[in-house]
């Protein structure tokens, strides 16, 4: 069963070839047997999943089922789930059963999808390797000595190892696309405002966006379609109907104009990754697309601007974790100041503290103009570069990450080199654009991701381009050894 796509499983459920309870038990069995090697789950919600599966089976029988009814999914532990621990990968929230469901959680459960558990992630989604999690690192199923990427590494590894057919993620600077690339699966981050952030624990609110992981663009489209939509409880949610992402999957790519930013193919890109990407681009030529070189002149400013804006917003967002209202509280405080400082000092890990310190510094009175204001101005320039490019092309493509999965521990002590893992992904968050990674080959047995960036609300276009590529290639069907 684990070799089947979401579309195939949904068809089996409707035809009565299997039940949701069987699918759910099969997923739980694989997690029990294989996840000890990967550490991709923080919490497995076995009883709740079986109850949901039985309810889904009743819906299927009654003829009241949608495409996700009865399908098991893994949920990033950043989304609030009522009564279920929602840790965000942090000691700070290790004791936190969320009192309510995030909008995304609610939408998926209402669609009849079966939540199998909550996935491991970098602490508060800060990281590119899953090594900052309080619950220990996640391993890459293609090579267990290597990282799965981050911050949504657990969600990516769980799909790559076929523990579940689909999962959720969030992407502030690349946290869906980079782990999708490193694990050889499909991951899409939609336009900012397309998926509600209500109940999605905030890292950097102007950049955070939820999205989906799957083995194929088609499955990712179904999952994203169920997650997306206007939500009056999120003030940045966009009130605009959700496109039918499945309806456009089969549109031919004849005449599609693909822009290749010269800045994404230069120094810093691993040569073998670059040539795998070139081969993928040739496939698009064969599909009838026209490839043109473009320039995003401010591309090299994306990482520095992000590492001012994201820490600034996180220093504000994470001030709510004070040891008083919820989360970790230090034992036997002497006084209020001691309660605050020790609760935060003991509850947060090193990377989170580093970001809070950078952010508080960048926002402080004497430095605001020099750092935060400047970063916001750069952000505008980056957005303008993209808008100009989209006057000329329909989709922008390049590598998702500069290298394949690196070894555990390899970059853990070198934050700047870690930050550069997101050099190609961050600009889409700064501009609020939709972007996706699809599997596009292997280098020495490790997956390579092709990155697609679209214009605002062009998720359907990206999924279509991904799906067409997946009709003529089979990278997305490869399963890591030991997980077949």
CA 202/CA 88 separation, integer angstroms:
10
Active-site entry in 151, 152, 196, 343: 151
Asked about 76 being catalytic, the answer comes back as yes
- The active-site residue out of 76, 118, 189, 411 is 76
Greatest pairwise CA separation for the chain in angstroms: 70
Q: What is the smallest separation between the CB atom of 421 and ligand GLN, expressed in angstroms?
A: 6
**Binding flag, residue 171, ligand GLN (CB under 6 A):** yes
Beta strand 209-214 with 290-294 is unpaired
The CB-of-203 to ligand GLN minimum distance in angstroms stands at: 6
210 is a site residue for ligand GLN (CB under 6 A): no
- The 3-class secondary structure across 33-50, one letter per residue, is HHHHHHCCEEEECHHHHH
Of the candidate spans 5-13, 119-127, 261-269, 358-366, the one that interacts with ligand GLN by CB under 6 A turns out to be: 119-127
- Cβ nearer to ligand GLN, comparing 109 with 436: 436
Q: Which residue number, 67 or 173, has a Cβ lying nearer to ligand GLN? A: 173
Based on the shown chain and the rule CB under 6 A, indicate whether residue 126 belongs to the binding site for ligand GLN.
yes
- DSSP letters of 232-257? TTSTT---SPPP-TTTTTT---TT-E
Q: Of 19, 90, 155, 175, which residue is the catalytic one?
A: 175
- Kindly identify the residues of this chain, within the stretch 352-411, that bind ligand GLN according to CB under 6 A: none
Q: Is 422 in the site for ligand GLN (CB under 6 A)?
A: yes
- Of 310, 408, 428, 450, the one binding ligand GLN (CB under 6 A) is 310
Q: Which is nearer to ligand GLN, 39 or 172 (CB)?
A: 172
Considering only 89, 173, 439, 441, the residue that binds ligand GLN (CB under 6 A) is 173
CB of 151 to ligand GLN, least distance (A): 4
Residues forming beta bridges with residue 195, ordered by sequence position:
228
90 binds ligand GLN (CB under 6 A): no
CA distance 380 to 145: 40
Q: Which stretch binds ligand GLN (CB under 6 A): 69-77, 155-163, 170-178, 337-345?
A: 170-178
CA distance 382 to 374: 12
Structure token digits, residue 202: 């905030």
The stretch near ligand GLN (CB under 6 A) out of 169-177, 249-257, 321-329, 336-344 is 169-177
Please tell me the count of residues contacting ligand GLN according to CB under 6 A. 13
Judged by CB under 6 A, which stretch of 172-180, 323-331, 339-347, 406-414 contacts ligand GLN? 172-180
Is 127 near ligand GLN (CB under 6 A)?
A: yes
Question: Which residue in 200, 78, 172 sits closest to 432, CA to CA?
Answer: 172
Whether omega for the bond prior to residue 429 falls within 30 degrees of 0, making it cis, is no
Contacts 24+ apart (CB under 8 A), 265-272: 265/398, 265/399, 268/402, 268/420, 268/423, 269/399, 269/402, 270/402, 270/403, 270/404, 270/443, 272/443, 272/444
Contact of 466 with 186, CB cutoff 8 Å: yes
Residue 116 touching ligand GLN (CB under 6 A): no
Q: Is 151 a catalytic site residue?
A: yes
388 carries an active-site annotation: no
Considering only 130, 167, 168, 172, the residue that binds ligand GLN (CB under 6 A) is 172
- Per CB under 6 A, 165 contacts ligand GLN: no
Q: Is 169 in the site for ligand GLN (CB under 6 A)?
A: no
Q: Would you say 74 and 163 are in contact if contact means Cβ atoms under 8 Å apart?
A: yes
The nearer residue to ligand GLN, 71 or 126, going by C-beta atoms, is: 126
According to the binding rule CB under 6 A, does residue 175 interact with ligand GLN? Answer: yes
Report the residue number, 151 or 155, with the smaller CB distance to ligand GLN.
151
**Cβ pair 301, 378 in contact under 8 A:** yes
Cβ proximity to ligand GLN: between 20 and 132 the closer is: 132
DSSP per-residue letters across 155-212: HHHHHHTTSSSEEEEEESSSTTHHHHHHHT-EEEE--TTSB--TTB--SSTTT-EEEE
Q: Which of 151, 167, 212, 315 binds ligand GLN (CB under 6 A)?
A: 151
Question: With respect to ligand GLN, which residue has the nearer C-beta, 175 or 437?
Answer: 175
Region of 126-134, 267-275, 276-284, 317-325 interacting with ligand GLN (CB under 6 A): 126-134
Identify whether the C-beta of residue 164 lies closer than 8 Å to the C-beta of residue 190: no
- Residue nearer to ligand GLN on the CB measure, 238 or 314: 314
- Closest Cα to residue 345, out of 329, 332, 361? 329
Kindly state the tokens that stand for 330: 């230090």
Q: Report residue 123 as tokens.
A: 């602490």
Judged by beta carbon, residue 224 or residue 253, the one nearer ligand GLN is 224
Count CA atoms closer than 13 A to 358's CA, side-chain side. 20
CA–CA dist 455, 446 (Å, integer): 30
- Which residue in 60, 111, 115, 125 binds ligand GLN (CB under 6 A)? 125
Q: Residue with structure tokens 């969030």?
A: 170
Residues that bind ligand GLN (CB under 6 A): 125-128, 151, 171-175, 203, 310, 422
Which residues are part of the catalytic machinery?
A: 76, 151, 175
């Amino acid at each position: 069963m684990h070799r089947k796509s979401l579309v195939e499983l949904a068809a089996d459920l409707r035809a009565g070839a299997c039940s949701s309870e069987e699918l759910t038990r099969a997923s739980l069995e694989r997690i029990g047997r294989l996840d000890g090697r990967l550490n991709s789950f923080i919490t497995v919600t076995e009883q709740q999943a079986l109850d949901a599966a039985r309810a889904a089976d009743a819906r299927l029988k009654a003829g009241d089922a949608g495409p996700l009814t009865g399908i098991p999914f893994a949920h990033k532990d950043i989304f609030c789930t009522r009564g279920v621990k929602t840790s965000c990968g942090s000691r700070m929230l290790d004791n936190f059963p969320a009192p309510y469901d995030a909008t995304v959680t609610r939408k998926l459960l209402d669609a009849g999808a079966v939540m199998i558990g909550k996935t491991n992630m970098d602490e508060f989604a800060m990281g590119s390797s899953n090594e900052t999690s309080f619950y220990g690192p996640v391993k890459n199923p293609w090579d267990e000595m290597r990282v799965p990427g981050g911050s949504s590494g657990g969600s990516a590894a769980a799909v790559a190892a076929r523990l579940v057919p689909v999962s959720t993620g969030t992407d502030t600077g690349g946290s869906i696309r980079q782990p999708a690339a490193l694990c050889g699966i499909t991951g899409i981050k939609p336009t900012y405002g397309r998926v509600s952030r209500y109940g999605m624990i905030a890292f950097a609110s102007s950049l955070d966006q939820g999205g989906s992981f799957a083995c194929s663009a088609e499955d990712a489209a179904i999952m994203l379609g169920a997650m997306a939509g206007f939500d009056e409880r999120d003030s940045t949610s966009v009130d605009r109907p959700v496109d039918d992402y499945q309806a456009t999957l089969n549109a031919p790519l004849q005449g599609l104009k693909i822009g290749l930013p010269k800045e994404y193919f230069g120094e810093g890109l691993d040569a073998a990754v670059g040539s795998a990407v070139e081969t993928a681009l040739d496939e698009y030529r064969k599909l009838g697309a026209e490839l043109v070189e473009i320039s995003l002149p401010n591309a090299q400013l994306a990482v520095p601007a992000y590492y001012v804006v994201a820490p600034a917003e996180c220093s504000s967002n994470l001030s709510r974790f004070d040891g008083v209202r919820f989360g970790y509280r230090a034992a036997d405080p002497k006084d209020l100041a001691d309660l605050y400082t020790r609760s935060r000092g003991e509850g947060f890990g090193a990377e989170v503290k580093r970001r809070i310190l950078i952010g508080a510094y960048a926002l402080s009175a004497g430095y605001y103009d020099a750092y935060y204001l400047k970063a916001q101005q750069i952000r505008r320039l980056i957005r303008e570069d993209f808008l100009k490019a989209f006057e000329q092309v329909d989709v922008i493509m390049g590598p998702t990450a500069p290298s394949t999965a690196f070894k555990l521990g390899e970059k853990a002590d070198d934050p700047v080199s870690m930050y550069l893992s997101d050099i190609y992904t961050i600009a889409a968050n700064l501009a609020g654009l939709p972007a996706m990674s699809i599997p596009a080959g292997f280098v020495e047995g490790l997956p390579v991701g092709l990155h697609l960036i679209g214009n605002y609300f062009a998720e359907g276009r990206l999924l279509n381009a991904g799906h067409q590529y997946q009709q003529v290639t089979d990278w997305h069907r490869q399963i890591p050894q030991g997980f077949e």
